[in-house]
Amino acid sequence: MTAALLLGVVGIAGVMTVDLVSVSVAISILLFVHIPQPAVTEAGRKGRGSIWKESIYGFHYISERRSLLGLLLVFFFFNLITTFSFTLLPPMILARTGNDAVILGGVMSASGAGGVAGSLVLSVWGGPKRKIKGVLYGLIIAGILSSLLGFGSNLWAWVSIAFFLTFLIPTINGSSQAIWQAKVAPDVQGRVFAARLLIAQISSPLSMLISGPLADRVFEPAMSSTGSLAPLFGTFVGIGSGSGMALMVVIAGILAGLTGLAGYSVPVIRNAEDILPDHDALSPVSQQTQLEQS
For the chain, the residue count is 294
Residue 189 domain-assigned (yes or no): yes
Provide the number of structural domains found in the chain.
1
- Supply the pLDDT for residue 289: 45
Give the per-residue SS3 of the chain: CHHHHHHHHHHHHHHHHHHHHHHHHHHHHHCCCCCCCCCCCHHHHHCCCCHHHHHHHHHHHHHCCHHHHHHHHHHHHHHHHHHHHHHHHHHHHHHHCCCCHHHHHHHHHHHHHHHHHHHHHHHHHCCCCCHHHHHHHHHHHHHHHHHHHHHCCCHHHHHHHHHHHHHHHHHHHHHHHHHHHHHCCHHHHHHHHHHHHHHHHCHHHHHHHHHHHHHHHHHHHHCCCCCCCHHHHHHHHCCCCCHHHHHHHHHHHHHHHHHHHHHHHCHHHHCHHHHCCCHHHCCHHHHHHHHHHC
pLDDT tens, residue by residue, 3-33: 777 877 888 899 999 999 999 999 999 899 8
Residue 186 domain-assigned (yes or no): yes
Residue 30 domain-assigned (yes or no): no
Segments forming the whole domain that contains residue 171? 36-293
Residue 228 domain-assigned (yes or no): yes
For residue 231, the tally of other CB atoms under 10 A from its CB is 9
Q: How far apart are the C-alpha atoms of 116 and 125, rounded to whole Å? A: 14
Residue 74 domain-assigned (yes or no): yes
Q: What is the pTM of this model?
A: 0.85
Whether the CB-CB separation of 157 and 93 falls below 8 Å is answered with no
Kindly give the parts of the chain with pLDDT less than 50: 284-293
Residue 12 domain-assigned (yes or no): no
Whether the CB-CB separation of 149 and 253 falls below 8 Å is answered with yes
What's the CATH code of the domain at 251?
A: 1.20.1250.20
pLDDT tens, residue by residue, 168-182: 999 999 999 999 999
Q: Residues of 148-160 as b/e, b for ≥16 C-beta within 10 angstroms?
A: bbbbbeebeebbb
Whether the CB-CB separation of 269 and 71 falls below 8 Å is answered with yes
Residue 29 domain-assigned (yes or no): no
Residue 21 domain-assigned (yes or no): no
